[in-house]
Structure 1
């Protein structure tokens, strides 16, 4: 399917990227944190609370979204995207709000530390430790004692998958569901490994030629890109992982690794729901869910999370 006309028009209006220009993380952070939708026009929730969580690696800021007032809540940990070196609580506020309202989950959005100042495994440790904190603070969060899910987009999808792998191994708590929006799951870069890297190489926002440099910030501490906690798609066994919702975008270089991971989960006996959104690009949750073709992604998320509760 061709690009949606509104998305095509937007991409045509953007200046051409220069593949030789070095990426400056701070510039990306500033651009990503610039609000697009005024706060009063975003989905309204019952309450939003800022909190600082102490962990053994240091303090981590979170934003807790309560969709409505009730006695107990299922909990969803949200890990934002941004290629591990950008993104924040604010950049993903407009994504987290509708997830909370559609699902009824209390959502804890995690402001994990960013590369290259904090390369792998710092972000993963932050996300895992805050999830562990949530599990240990049942009364404070009014947790229902049963449902503890993780979710993330792009690099945040990587972190959600990796937290699920670590939780399975350590057995300190149980993740019940994982949601991966157009996830970055294979940092062992090879442009010939996935057809989508060539099909969507240029002109769709996220470009294939930029991926090695994006990944390099997270790997700058000497991490092995074949490590399953860096590239979850490399895990030898995906058995006994939480049920998964995997969302991909047709015109995304990362499309095929997300879909392959969904297939691998299915083959390992994990319950999987997978949907590819046609005519759209990487990052569409933040920009294009006002369009009729994509607005049901939050309803789909809510239905998946509420299933079995």
Structure 2
């Protein structure tokens, strides 16, 4: 990249995002790829679980879903317990390695309030302890449980899937599995995908442009994939790389709302997936936040001394509006 291009891109980067990146450098944040999975979870957990009063939601409850000799923990957010609202099943980000119900609690709360829906946030299994397809299995089972138990959790008709990054990958993989599984599958009416991982590949222009310096790095994505997959051959499986699904499956996916970011390595594969869906006849509303970095939807409030990112509020509102519209 030429100096001129680098300088231009630096000027175009959102000022809140730049302040956060500067603070990470000042605080000596370590390179994720030099950490163990446990250390990475502690690092990201510390950043994304600020000691502040969370956004209020009328009802927040935790349950355990029985699933083949194990339990899947879910947290259910209901903004209006006296009403019968549609449900959105939400999958957190974290590269299938890190993240949990607490690190993305703020996003789930906003989606419940802004989307006027019951949000079921899923604590799916992560690698490397539980490699692919462990997270996929949990994501699908939790979605089917939500559909089958809507009355029990105070939800009415209508279900959507929502996810960020690796969670966006899981959300659309679940939607694809619902197409493939037919009549017994949950009927998904909409999917909201925040900067999703859609392909096990690292050769896009956005991987080159945003390889380093913008929170999520190219080598970081390699690290995440290596801790998630059992073997590289898994990366060719559409349940790991949903961009590789057949056109028939893509054509039967629900209307889609997608958000990408200009300074994220995953930007171009998000564009590619949006284009593939559109070419297959799916209605797609895609917004690229040109000046933003990866994971910004979860950066409204961060642990001290890290500044928040104002654009997080905007993208959460847009996602909520999309959910409200999907169920009208």
Task: Give the TM-score of the pair, scaled to structure 1.
Answer: 0.92
Q: Helix, strand or coil for the counterpart of 2:73?
A: strand
Task: Name the structure 2 match of 1:12.
Answer: 22
Q: Match of 2:152, SS? A: helix
Deviation at 1:280, TM superposition (A): 1.0
For the 8 Å contact 1:246–1:259, the answer to whether it is kept is no
Question: Would you say the 8 A contact 1:23–1:213 is kept in 2?
Answer: no
Matched residue, 1:185: 198
User: What SS does the corresponding residue of 1:217 show, helix, strand or coil?
Assistant: helix
- Measure how far apart 1:221 and its partner are: 5.7
Give TM-score scaled by structure 2 length: 0.87
Contact 2:159–2:188 (CA<8 Å) still a contact in 1? Answer: yes
Structure 1 unaligned runs (5+)?
A: none
The aligned residue for residue 295 of structure 1 is 313
Between Structure 1 and Structure 2, how many residues are aligned? Answer: 304
Counterpart position of 1:141: 153
CA contact (8 A) 1:120 1:221 kept: no
User: For 2:260, which of 248, 251, 266 is the aligned residue?
Assistant: 248
Unaligned 5+ segments in structure 2 are 1-8, 302-307
- Work out the CA distance in 1 between the residues paired with 2:171 and 2:69: 19
In the superposition, relative to structure 1, how do residues 14 and 33 fare at CA in structure 2: closer, same or farther (>3 Å)?
closer
Indicate the residue corresponding to 2:172 in structure 1. Answer: 161
Relative to structure 1, is the Cα distance of residues 24 and 276 closer, same or farther in structure 2, using a 3 angstrom cutoff? same
Cα distance in 1, alignment partners of residues 261 and 227 from structure 2: 24
Q: CA deviation at 1:6?
A: 2.5
Match of 1:209 in 2: 219
Aligned-pair RMSD on alpha carbons? 2.0
What are the within-5 Å matches in structure 2 for residues 80-119 of structure 1?
Answer: 80-119=92-131
Bigger relative contact order, structure 1 or 2, given CA contacts below 8 A and separation 6+? 2
8 Å contact kept, 1:150–1:175: yes
Pick from 26, 38, 50 the counterpart of residue 37 of structure 1.
Answer: 50
How far apart are residue 38 of structure 1 and its match?
3.0
Q: How does 1:17-28 map to 2 (within 5 A)?
A: 22-28=34-40
> Residues of 1 paired with 2:176 and 2:226: CA distance?
22
Contact 1:19 1:209 in 2 (8 A): no
Superposition misfits of 4+ residues, deviation over 6 angstroms? 16-20
Residue deviations 1:84-134, cap 9 Å, x none? 011000000011111110011100000001100000111110010011111
Moved more, 280-289 or 231-240: 280-289
Q: d(CA) in 2 for partners of 1:214 and 1:108?
A: 25
User: Any conservation in 1 of the 2:298–2:312 contact (CA below 8 Å)?
Assistant: no
CA distance in 2 between counterparts of 1:173 and 1:5 reads: 42
- 2:235 counterpart SS class: coil
2:13 to 3, 12, 21: 3
